[in-house]
Amino acid sequence: MDLQAWDNVISIASNAVTGLSLLGGVIFGGVKLQEMVKNKKMEQAFASAIALKDEIDATRGRYNRMRFDLTRIMTFIDTLAKTGQKVDQESYYQIQGSLRDMAENTFRIGSCFVKVSHYNVAIKQPAWEPFNALLHSAGETQIAISKLVNLITQALLKEQITAEEFATIRSFYDEHGERMKGVNNAIAGIDIIKFDDFFDFSKVNKKSRD
């Protein structure tokens, strides 16, 4: 069989396969497509739940680093206030970067929870109480860090930071520390809950009217 003959055979076979595929697609395509969509949605829902759990597990360490960085910044500001010096440009931008990262980190758990909810993944009842406490504490921490960021930024832009201004910043720093305790306590309650006891995937592929 020459090359042209093989080409003809392959073309005929290819056309036949294409025809069968099209026919099968008409008959079974709707069912297969729905199944693929359901599987993909469940896959994404599961991934979002893992991301949320990973974020919760990382929160204690991330928040403790935040507190460490804040303490370092507070020491620097205290020195400026006592010496009457003005912050240099490099230090200012370094502090700004650290404060921005802190503020962004406080949104991470809430953002992951929104994504989980988007896929209709529910938090099971035994886990809801400590998780809700974590959401509340994280929200309060976000408010506290936002206030602190604003005060520190305003203070660093001044020619000199007064003792009174530092005292005000210190009070908000202490408030942030209190909010941090709530976060750590909530995480301690979540740590003992297994993944399978945390998330409910039963409504992922159900329509809202079901």
First to last CA, the chain: 61
pLDDT for position 33: 65
| 109 phi-psi bin (left φ>0, alpha ψ -120 to 50, beta other) | alpha
Model confidence pLDDT, tens digit, residues 181-206 = 999 999 999 999 999 999 999 998 87
Got the DSSP string for 18-77?
HHHHHHHHHHHHHHHHHHHHHHHHHHHHHHHHHHHHHHHHHHHHHHHHHHHHHHHHHHHH
pLDDT for position 124: 92
Q: What fold characterizes domain 37-200?
A: A middle domain of Talin 1 (1.20.1420)
Helix (H) or strand (E) holding 115: helix 108-118
Contact 99, 152 (CB under 8 A): yes
Contact 183, 63 (CB under 8 A): yes
Tokens of residue 87, six digits? 């912050």
pLDDT for position 31: 59
The model scores a pTM over 0.85:
no
- Which parts of the chain register pLDDT below 50? 1-23, 26-28, 209-210
Tokens of residue 156, six digits? 């660093």
Q: Which residues contact 207 (CB under 8 A, 6 or more apart)?
A: none
Domain boundaries along the sequence of the chain:
37-200
Model confidence pLDDT, tens digit, residues 113-145 = 989 988 899 999 889 999 999 999 988 998 999
